[in-house]
């Protein structure tokens, strides 16, 4: 059986919250070695770039961040008001983990959540049919909230529906979450391809191409697989 500390360490690494967190700065980053791809970064690199059929539009993954919210307040309201804090801006990465509130202070139906924010670059290409080459016509960069993910507590657990729960399956919680996120981003990729097939990509922004539904559905599936912590 894994310990809560093992769960927490793996969860932190999954979101790239160590020394290499958000180190990519090149406008067109080279694909890193497989050994450097882990967690969310690996999943996003395996999904992007996504191009339209004619090769005139490319959606490129640049980097990601995690936006966290106060457990004592309504998360949906905090999202709407822009009250979250980005993990890359925190002095202490341990702040990522949710403190366990007193039972009387747990909001009804509370879920421990964080927001996956991804920086995308939408590249518009100009194709030269004579030379069979293409050049960059325009670049639009935008931070996009891709969707909500489970946020772990200081106990290595989660809150779902106001109840503290833990992962009880094979391996670690991030192992299962990673598999679900791969499926979610497959859905995101298919949605992007469909949108580019029916709309002029040159008139769009990255936000217009990202469907939040797949990530929302897989996060809920992850929560549903958890079991209550003994004593709750």
Q: Which residue shows structure tokens 């809560």?
A: 4
Task: Answer yes or no: are the C-beta atoms of 52 and 76 closer than 8 Å.
Answer: no
Nearest to 155 by CA among 164, 147, 146: 164
- Per the structure, the complete domain to which residue 221 belongs is given by 4-65+114-150+170-228
- The backbone torsions φ and ψ at residue 132, rounded to the nearest 5 degrees and listed phi first, read 55, 40
Domain contains 38: yes
Domain contains 82: no
In the prediction, which pLDDT does 166 show? 94
Domain contains 75: no
What is the pLDDT confidence band of residue 127, given thresholds at 50, 70 and 90? confident
Each residue's pLDDT tens digit, 46-68: 999 999 988 889 999 998 999 98
Domain count, the chain: 1
In the prediction, which pLDDT does 22 show? 44
Domain contains 191: yes
Domain contains 119: yes
Q: How would you classify the pairing of strands 227-228 and 163-166?
A: antiparallel
Tell me the average pLDDT across 161-181: 93
Domain contains 48: yes
C-alpha to C-alpha distance for 210 and 189, rounded to whole angstroms: 9
In the DSSP assignment, the letter for residue 106 is S
In the prediction, which pLDDT does 33 show? 54
Each residue's pLDDT tens digit, 8-49: 999 988 987 544 444 444 444 455 555 456 789 899 999 999
Tell me the average pLDDT across 211-221: 95
Domain contains 198: yes
Domain contains 95: no
Tell me the average pLDDT across 141-148: 93
Each residue's pLDDT tens digit, 75-95: 778 877 778 888 877 777 778
């Amino acid at each position: 059986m894994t310990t809560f500390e093992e769960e927490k360490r793996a969860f932190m690494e999954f979101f790239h919250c160590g020394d290499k967190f958000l180190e990519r700065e090149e406008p067109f980053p080279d694909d890193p070695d497989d050994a450097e791809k882990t967690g969310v970064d690996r999943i996003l690199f395996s999904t992007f770039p996504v191009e339209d059929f004619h090769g005139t539009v490319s959606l490129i993954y640049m980097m990601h961040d995690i936006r966290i919210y106060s457990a004592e307040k309504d998360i949906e309201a905090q999202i709407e008001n822009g009250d979250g804090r980005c993990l890359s801006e925190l002095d202490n990465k341990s702040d990522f983990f949710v403190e366990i509130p007193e039972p009387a202070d747990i909001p009804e139906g509370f879920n421990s959540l964080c927001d996956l924010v991804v920086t995308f670059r939408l590249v518009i290409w100009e194709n030269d049919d004579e030379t069979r080459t293409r050049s960059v016509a325009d670049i639009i960069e935008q931070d996009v909230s891709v969707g909500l993910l489970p946020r772990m507590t200081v106990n290595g657990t989660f809150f779902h529906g106001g109840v503290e729960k833990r992962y009880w399956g094979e391996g670690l919680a991030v192992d299962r979450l990673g598999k679900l996120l791969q499926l979610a981003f497959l859905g995101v990729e298919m949605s992007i391809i469909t949108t580019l097939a029916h709309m002029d990509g040159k008139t769009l922004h990255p936000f217009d191409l990202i469907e939040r539904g797949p990530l929302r559905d897989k996060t809920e599936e992850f929560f549903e697989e958890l079991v209550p912590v003994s004593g709750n």
